[in-house]
Amino acid sequence: MPQEAHRPRIVHLFEMPQHRAAVARLIHDEFWAAVPGASAEAMAARLGQAASADRIPLCRVALAGDQLAGVVNLVESDDDHHREWSPWLAGLVVAAPWRGRGVGSALVRTLLDDARRLGAPRVYFGTDGPAFYTRLGAVEHHVPRPGFWFMRFELPPR
């Protein structure tokens, strides 16, 4: 169980490559476990492409000591039908013991700072739970079907 006083630190995954397999498993289990042919190993290979803080893709992880608390990614696109919407926040997962403790919010804010630093005017994403993101400033972009939203964060320069 995480300690309240110990807040996870957020780093780039490439800075802590020993966590890549665990990050891949966390993302795979949350979003890809029921997809035929998907594997944590394939996800780990994709995460290996996030090898620099200066270009997309980016992978940010929250670590409490050596414990993985969460992950979020910035990718060029996460929807084949809307390639013009770029970049995308993808694969936000907070490990169960850390949920409700601000880890997801910290990961999103850090990733938005990264996107702004890289010159992105906005960041898109899809979700079935918009309230979390609305609290962080996201707005509805498009509702393709009931219960699913494409949303975006506008990133004015600082």
Q: Which of 4-8, 100-104, 114-118, 130-134 has the lowest mean pLDDT?
A: 4-8
- 23 pLDDT exceeds 90? yes
Task: Give domain limits for the chain.
Answer: 9-154
Domain 9-154 has CATH 3.40.630.30: yes
pTM: 0.92
Alpha helix (H) residue ranges in the chain = 20-27, 40-47, 103-117, 130-135
Summarised one tens digit per residue, pLDDT across range 40-54 is 999 999 999 999 999
Summarised one tens digit per residue, pLDDT across range 59-68 is 999 999 999 9
- The position carrying tokens 């996201």 is 138
Contact 93, 37 (CB under 8 A): no
